[in-house]
Structure 1
């Protein structure tokens, strides 16, 4: 598995904000796009954007937050709507809501329930946290991942900027018996000032502190330059073997900068070879 292979197998995360549907219009057919969900917008907003992306011929991966599901029937209705749209992949998370809307509190609750009824989902992803979680201990995260892997087909890492942290975590979970293929969560090209602001908001402060120590950051901020994801990927390539540690692709946090993300993918997907 080469770095070029990993980059070619990228999905682009889209937040269902106003105007996002228009940005998807220029995305090449069969590109994989992930549509997020949040308590602010509700699952109906996610479904609206999933439908629009599906009509455009994209490979759509909806996010489903357990705490946003009102109950068993709500879950069935959501999944059956995905089936009707021809969506065969789902990404399941616990969610950021303080209080669940129903009886589902964490991703494992949804994963178990999906085993209880018929659907056409053929691939299910779950999240993982190389930098840890502000509200969950490292041991609890590891135990949860061990449990959830029996229901899932792959995992997607939290946004990270430190290749050494990511590589060390991945070796540790492989040694502990967690074998799910990994899609590496990477920030797509974005103006550095905005990237740092958004990263702090979603709770990856340790990685942002690592980014802030890099040579030339202040000058790049002043000049309004953008973050370059390839620097992280090349550093990760120096640390690990993508094939041996089952890294199958990238999950690009686009922050809805879709055109810039597509331009970056076009420029690098065929030009990098693993050493």
Structure 2
């Protein structure tokens, strides 16, 4: 199933994101998580791709296992900054050959351990270039998703710049977008208004990360430029070393956030699971009565 086709029909989507584990044991734990979440009948699941293409083989293996061993629609993340166009073509051809129909096209983070890193000669240096490359070489073989940033990408000087570059991805052939995680819905609603003014009309699915580890989420938020509301920080800080209470508060907040988004008729919810099922299952239980059928 192509995700873009599904969303164009106006259907509501629930989806989950995973990352490729580093060890065989971690991979088996991931597939237990997938088994737990599969009962929720998600529209699709996605598998991330490490900075600089560092998880290329592991991403491919996990994507292929999900595709072959489950009935789930799986979307493979693909970053371009560290690959030649020949690399990209081979990766995409391999996915097409095993029946993968959905790609999340990303520039990708620069490798943290390579301060002098430079993209290969002739590489796609922006995600819009990757989207165009996929369309030019594979036509409509893939439904192409892209990332969007309601609070702006960390490298964007302002939201005008952000919208301009997001529109370039859409014009290159993107079918839909999934946002970076955010915790203040007002940023998302403002982003949708800016997209509407810019005549960007692809489906934009909000990305939700239930908080289960306060210090970890502070680090993530700092890296991607997501603001954690002060009221939530004040609720979480006293329990930074109490995993059970942190989970409780994080799930409660995510439920409130999702219900507000549902009240405002979003087309889907994409959960960043961190390869765990408990928090996502609890949030789903709290919102399932409000989900569209």
**What secondary structure does 1:64 align onto?**
strand
Change (3 A) 1:154 1:219: same
**1:255 maps to 2:277:** no
Matched, 1:154 2:176: yes
Q: How does 1:89-108 map to 2 (within 5 A)?
A: 89-97=102-110, 99-102=118-121, 103-108=123-128
Return closer, same or farther for 1:117/1:8 CA change in 2, 3 Å cut-off. Answer: closer
Query: What is the aligned partner in structure 2 of residue 64 from structure 1?
Result: 78
Give the TM-score normalised by the residue count of structure 1.
0.82
Q: Give deviations 1:142-199, integer Å, cap 9, x for gaps.
A: 11111211301101111000011211221221122111101111013x4242552342
Structure ranking higher in helix proportion: 2
Tell me by how many angstroms 1:253 deviates. 0.8
1:230/1:131 CA distance change after superposition, 3 Å: same
User: 1:181-236: per-residue Cα shift (whole Å, max 9, x none)?
Assistant: 01111013x424255234235323423656325xx334454653311211112233
Per the alignment, in what secondary structure is the counterpart of residue 68 of structure 1?
coil
Would you say 1:118 and 2:143 are equivalent positions?
no
| Residue 228 (structure 2) aligns with | 207
Equivalent-residue separation in structure 1 for 2:200 and 2:222 (angstroms) = 29
Q: 1:263 to 1:233 in 2, by over 3 A?
A: closer
8 A Cα contact 2:96 2:141, kept in partner: yes
- Please give the root-mean-square deviation of Cα atoms over the aligned residues, in Å: 2.7
Segment drifting more, 78-87 vs 98-107: 98-107
| 2: CA distance, partners of 1:184 / 1:93 | 17
- Structure 1: gaps spanning 5 or more residues: 1-5
CA offset at residue 87 of structure 1?
A: 0.8
Distance 2:11 2:31 in 1: 20
Distance 2:13 2:216 in 1: 23
Q: Which of 173, 182, 186 is the aligned partner of 1:164?
A: 186
Of the candidates 242, 246, 260, which is equivalent to residue 235 of structure 1? 260
The DSSP-based 3-state class of the residue aligned with 2:138 is: coil
Q: Find out whether 1:23 has 2:30 as its counterpart.
A: yes
In structure 1, C-alpha distance between the alignment counterparts of 2:278 and 2:141, rounded to whole Å: 29
104-113 or 138-147, larger mean C-alpha shift: 138-147
- Equivalent-residue separation in structure 1 for 2:228 and 2:192 (angstroms): 16
Q: Alpha carbons of 1:122 and 1:45: their partners in 2 closer, same or farther (altered >3 Å)?
A: same
- Map residues 8-87 of structure 1 onto 2, 5 A cutoff: 9-18=13-22, 19-25=26-32, 26=35, 27-28=37-38, 31=42, 32-39=44-51, 41-57=54-70, 58-69=72-83, 71-87=84-100
Specify whether residues 8 and 257 from structure 1 end up closer, same or farther in structure 2 by C-alpha distance, changes over 3 A only.
farther
- Between 1:143-152 and 1:254-263, the stretch displaced more is 254-263
The secondary structure found in structure 2 opposite 1:34 is strand
TM-score scaled by structure 2? 0.78
- Structure 2 unaligned runs (5+)? 1-9, 111-116
Which whole-Å CA distance do the structure 2 matches of 1:217 and 1:155 have between them? Answer: 30
- Could you say which residue in structure 2 is the equivalent of 1:3? none
Give the total of aligned pairs: 258
Alignment partner for residue 166 of structure 2, among 137, 145, 148? 145
Aligned to 2:217: 196
